[in-house]
Amino acid sequence: MLILGLDPGLGTTGWGLIRADGNRLSHVANGQIRTDASMPLPRRLALLHGAIVEVIRGHQPQGAAVEEVLGNSNAQSTLKLGQARGMALLAAAQAELVVGEYHPSIVKKAVVGTGGAAKEQVQAMVARLLPGVKLTGADAADALAVAITHAHHLASAKAMLRRAG
Protein backbone atom coordinates (compact mmCIF):
# COMPACT_ATOMS: atom_id res chain seq x y z
CA MET A 1 0.00 0.00 0.00
CA LEU A 2 1.29 3.44 -0.94
CA ILE A 3 0.70 5.98 1.86
CA LEU A 4 1.00 9.77 1.59
CA GLY A 5 1.93 11.61 4.77
CA LEU A 6 1.38 15.35 5.05
CA ASP A 7 2.81 17.80 7.58
CA PRO A 8 0.79 20.93 6.82
CA GLY A 9 2.07 24.47 7.15
CA LEU A 10 1.22 27.66 5.33
CA GLY A 11 4.86 28.55 4.67
CA THR A 12 6.07 24.98 4.15
CA THR A 13 4.06 21.79 3.87
CA GLY A 14 6.04 18.58 3.96
CA TRP A 15 4.93 15.49 2.07
CA GLY A 16 6.26 11.96 2.09
CA LEU A 17 5.31 8.73 0.37
CA ILE A 18 6.07 5.29 1.72
CA ARG A 19 5.19 1.80 0.61
CA ALA A 20 3.90 -0.46 3.36
CA ASP A 21 4.01 -4.20 2.78
CA GLY A 22 2.96 -5.75 6.06
CA ASN A 23 5.54 -4.54 8.58
CA ARG A 24 8.07 -3.67 5.85
CA LEU A 25 8.27 0.00 4.98
CA SER A 26 10.16 1.62 2.13
CA HIS A 27 10.66 5.20 1.01
CA VAL A 28 9.12 6.24 -2.31
CA ALA A 29 9.46 10.05 -2.41
CA ASN A 30 9.38 13.17 -0.26
CA GLY A 31 9.35 16.90 -0.71
CA GLN A 32 8.32 20.29 0.57
CA ILE A 33 5.78 22.72 -0.82
CA ARG A 34 6.60 26.34 -0.10
CA THR A 35 4.42 29.42 -0.42
CA ASP A 36 5.57 33.04 -0.56
CA ALA A 37 4.65 34.96 2.60
CA SER A 38 4.21 38.16 0.56
CA MET A 39 1.29 36.66 -1.38
CA PRO A 40 -2.34 37.07 -0.28
CA LEU A 41 -3.59 34.24 1.94
CA PRO A 42 -6.21 32.92 -0.52
CA ARG A 43 -3.55 32.63 -3.25
CA ARG A 44 -1.16 30.81 -0.92
CA LEU A 45 -3.91 28.34 0.05
CA ALA A 46 -4.80 27.75 -3.60
CA LEU A 47 -1.16 27.09 -4.50
CA LEU A 48 -0.79 24.72 -1.57
CA HIS A 49 -3.94 22.80 -2.53
CA GLY A 50 -2.87 22.59 -6.17
CA ALA A 51 0.59 21.29 -5.28
CA ILE A 52 -0.85 18.57 -3.01
CA VAL A 53 -3.30 17.58 -5.75
CA GLU A 54 -0.34 17.20 -8.13
CA VAL A 55 1.56 15.00 -5.65
CA ILE A 56 -1.52 12.78 -5.34
CA ARG A 57 -2.04 12.64 -9.13
CA GLY A 58 1.62 11.90 -9.75
CA HIS A 59 1.93 9.07 -7.23
CA GLN A 60 -1.60 7.66 -6.81
CA PRO A 61 -1.43 6.74 -3.10
CA GLN A 62 -4.04 4.38 -1.66
CA GLY A 63 -4.19 6.18 1.69
CA ALA A 64 -3.18 9.42 3.35
CA ALA A 65 -2.37 10.73 6.80
CA VAL A 66 -2.32 14.33 8.00
CA GLU A 67 -0.83 15.69 11.18
CA GLU A 68 -3.28 17.47 13.48
CA VAL A 69 -2.85 21.10 14.51
CA LEU A 70 -0.91 21.67 17.70
CA GLY A 71 -2.19 24.95 19.14
CA ASN A 72 0.26 27.58 20.26
CA SER A 73 0.08 30.97 21.96
CA ASN A 74 -0.32 32.87 18.67
CA ALA A 75 -3.94 32.44 17.59
CA GLN A 76 -3.29 33.84 14.09
CA SER A 77 -0.51 31.30 13.46
CA THR A 78 -2.71 28.47 14.68
CA LEU A 79 -5.55 29.62 12.43
CA LYS A 80 -3.28 29.81 9.36
CA LEU A 81 -1.92 26.34 10.15
CA GLY A 82 -5.48 25.07 10.39
CA GLN A 83 -6.29 26.58 6.99
CA ALA A 84 -3.25 24.89 5.45
CA ARG A 85 -4.33 21.62 7.07
CA GLY A 86 -7.77 22.13 5.53
CA MET A 87 -6.19 22.29 2.08
CA ALA A 88 -4.38 18.99 2.73
CA LEU A 89 -7.58 17.32 3.92
CA LEU A 90 -9.53 18.71 0.96
CA ALA A 91 -7.01 17.47 -1.60
CA ALA A 92 -7.03 13.98 -0.06
CA ALA A 93 -10.83 13.92 0.16
CA GLN A 94 -11.19 15.01 -3.46
CA ALA A 95 -9.00 12.05 -4.44
CA GLU A 96 -11.33 9.84 -2.36
CA LEU A 97 -8.51 8.76 -0.06
CA VAL A 98 -9.25 7.52 3.44
CA VAL A 99 -7.35 9.89 5.71
CA GLY A 100 -5.82 9.15 9.09
CA GLU A 101 -5.30 12.12 11.40
CA TYR A 102 -2.64 12.04 14.10
CA HIS A 103 -1.64 14.38 16.91
CA PRO A 104 2.08 15.30 16.81
CA SER A 105 2.72 13.47 20.11
CA ILE A 106 1.22 10.26 18.65
CA VAL A 107 3.50 10.57 15.61
CA LYS A 108 6.56 11.08 17.81
CA LYS A 109 5.61 8.15 20.03
CA ALA A 110 5.05 5.86 17.02
CA VAL A 111 8.35 6.74 15.38
CA VAL A 112 10.69 7.52 18.29
CA GLY A 113 9.00 5.83 21.23
CA THR A 114 8.24 8.98 23.22
CA GLY A 115 5.65 11.69 22.59
CA GLY A 116 8.06 14.43 23.60
CA ALA A 117 10.78 13.64 21.05
CA ALA A 118 12.74 16.46 19.43
CA LYS A 119 12.60 17.11 15.67
CA GLU A 120 16.16 15.80 15.33
CA GLN A 121 15.17 12.52 16.96
CA VAL A 122 12.23 12.14 14.54
CA GLN A 123 14.52 12.79 11.57
CA ALA A 124 17.07 10.26 12.83
CA MET A 125 14.44 7.55 13.30
CA VAL A 126 12.85 8.25 9.90
CA ALA A 127 16.30 7.76 8.35
CA ARG A 128 16.71 4.51 10.30
CA LEU A 129 13.23 3.17 9.43
CA LEU A 130 13.58 4.10 5.76
CA PRO A 131 17.18 3.20 4.84
CA GLY A 132 18.65 5.25 2.02
CA VAL A 133 16.11 8.07 2.30
CA LYS A 134 17.36 11.50 1.23
CA LEU A 135 15.26 14.00 3.13
CA THR A 136 14.40 17.29 1.41
CA GLY A 137 13.97 18.98 4.80
CA ALA A 138 12.55 18.77 8.30
CA ASP A 139 8.95 19.15 7.13
CA ALA A 140 9.37 16.27 4.68
CA ALA A 141 10.83 14.14 7.49
CA ASP A 142 7.80 14.97 9.64
CA ALA A 143 5.48 14.01 6.76
CA LEU A 144 7.25 10.66 6.38
CA ALA A 145 6.86 10.16 10.15
CA VAL A 146 3.10 10.77 9.77
CA ALA A 147 2.96 8.20 6.95
CA ILE A 148 4.92 5.69 9.09
CA THR A 149 2.49 6.26 11.97
CA HIS A 150 -0.44 5.58 9.66
CA ALA A 151 1.19 2.40 8.35
CA HIS A 152 1.71 1.15 11.92
CA HIS A 153 -1.91 1.92 12.84
CA LEU A 154 -3.21 0.15 9.73
CA ALA A 155 -1.04 -2.92 10.42
CA SER A 156 -2.26 -3.03 14.03
CA ALA A 157 -5.90 -2.74 12.96
CA LYS A 158 -5.47 -5.57 10.43
CA ALA A 159 -3.82 -7.78 13.03
CA MET A 160 -6.65 -7.16 15.48
CA LEU A 161 -9.23 -8.02 12.83
CA ARG A 162 -7.43 -11.29 12.04
CA ARG A 163 -7.37 -12.24 15.73
CA ALA A 164 -11.07 -11.35 16.15
CA GLY A 165 -12.11 -13.23 13.01
Q: 117: exposed, middle or buried (C-beta count within 10 Å: 0-12, 13-18, 19+)?
A: buried
Pairing of strands 63-67, 2-7: parallel
Q: Per-residue DSSP letters for 65-93?
A: EEEPP---S-HHHHHHHHHHHHHHHHHHH
CB 15 within 8 Å of CB 31: yes
Does 36 qualify as catalytic in the annotation?
no
Phi, psi of 23 (to 5 degrees): -90, -5
Which pLDDT belongs to residue 72? 74
What residues does each domain of the chain span? 2-164
Residues comprising the binding site for Mg(2+)? 7, 67, 139
Cβ-based neighbours of 139, under 8 Å, separated by 6 or more: 7, 9, 12, 13, 14, 32
Burial status of residue 83 (CB atoms within 10 A of its CB: 0-12, 13-18, 19 or more)? middle
Name residues of the chain where pLDDT drops below 50. none
Checking phi first, is residue 137 left (phi over 0); if not, alpha (psi -120 to 50) or beta? left
| CATH superfamily of this structure's domain 2-164 | Ribonuclease H-like superfamily/Ribonuclease H (3.30.420.10)
Q: From the candidates 21, 36, 54, 67, give the one annotated as an active-site residue.
A: 67
Find the catalytic residue in 36, 120, 139, 142: 139
Helix (H, G, I), strand (E, B), or coil: what is residue 101? strand
Percent of the chain with pLDDT over 70: 96
Distance CA 107, CA 78 (A): 19
* Active-site annotation holds for 7: yes
- Check if 67 is active-site: yes
